[in-house]
């Protein structure tokens, strides 16, 4: 088999383009069902959570330090600290936990 990367890139770009354009062209009427509207509203947040949760856990050398940093990050963000402060707190937490593990 001849692996031509340009064919792969072309097929992938057409697929992604169709996935993004078809809903805009097919669905032209406003969605009146409240359940479907709410579902479509929360899809981006759920997708972002699903993609970032494993990265948070497995980005460190030890899963335990990732979990501890995640918990502390959730607590810090619940206390409405800024994004930069939460990030620094999580990084320092991973650093300290991995020193002792």
31 confidence band (pLDDT: 50, 70, 90): confident
User: Cα angle vertex 21, ends 19, 27, to 5°?
Assistant: 100
- Report residue 20's pLDDT band, with 50, 70 and 90 as the boundaries: confident
Among 11-15, 27-31, 67-71, where is mean pLDDT lowest? Answer: 27-31
pLDDT digits (tens, 9 = 90+) for 60-75: 888 999 999 999 999 9
Whole-structure pTM value: 0.60
Q: How many domains does the chain have?
A: 1
Residue 82 lies in a domain: yes
Residue 93 covered by a domain: yes
Mean pLDDT value of segment 36-54: 86
The boundaries of the domain holding residue 79 are 32-100
Q: How far is CA 18 from CA 3, 14, 15, 61, 94, in A?
A: 24, 6, 5, 39, 41
């Amino acid at each position: 088999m001849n692996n031509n990367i340009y064919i792969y890139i072309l097929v992938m770009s057409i697929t992604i383009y169709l996935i993004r354009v078809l809903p805009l062209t097919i669905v032209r009427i406003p969605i009146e069902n409240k359940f479907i509207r709410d579902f479509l509203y929360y899809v981006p947040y759920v997708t972002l959570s699903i993609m970032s949760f494993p990265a948070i856990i497995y980005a460190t050398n030890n899963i335990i330090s990732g979990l501890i940093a995640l918990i502390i990050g959730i607590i810090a963000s619940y206390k409405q600290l800024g994004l930069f402060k939460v990030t620094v707190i999580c990084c320092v937490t991973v650093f300290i936990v991995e020193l002792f593990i």
